[in-house]
């Protein structure tokens, strides 16, 4: 198994399911760009997708805060797999 095959297998192992795992994945990708493992086009695509995830989470958080203010209820944790 060559280095590229090992990297591809590691990438496909599991998708991030929460913000901590997403941050770790993004840092890993940034390190990959820095050491030449990840090309700039792939990094740009990952960055665009990460921005979409951030935008979605941001909206969900704002809705949860608004609901709390309106109902004085609890804010449910945000999950990527629901």
DSSP letters for 1-61: --HHHHHHHHHHH----SHHHHHHHHHHHHHHHHTTSS-HHHHHHHHHHHHHHHHHHHHHH
Instruction: Supply the pLDDT for residue 1.
Output: 46
Q: Copy the structure tokens of residue 66.
A: 């608004």
Q: Along the chain (82 residues), what's the average pLDDT of each consecutive run of 10 residues?
A: 49 76 91 92 90 91 82 68 74
To the nearest 10 degrees (0 to 180), the angle between helices 40-71 and 19-34 is 160
Instruction: Supply the pLDDT for residue 82.
Output: 66
Q: What is the pTM of this model?
A: 0.57
Q: Copy the structure tokens of residue 46.
A: 């990952």
Instruction: Supply the pLDDT for residue 75.
Output: 59
């Amino acid at each position: 198994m060559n280095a590229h095959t090992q990297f591809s297998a590691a990438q496909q192992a599991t998708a991030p399911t929460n913000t901590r795992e997403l941050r770790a994945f993004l840092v890993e990708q940034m390190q990959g760009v820095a050491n030449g493992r990840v090309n700039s086009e792939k990094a740009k695509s990952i960055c665009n997708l990460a921005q979409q995830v951030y935008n979605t989470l941001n909206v969900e958080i704002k809705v949860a805060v608004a609901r709390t203010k309106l109902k004085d209820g609890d804010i449910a944790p945000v999950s990527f797999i629901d």
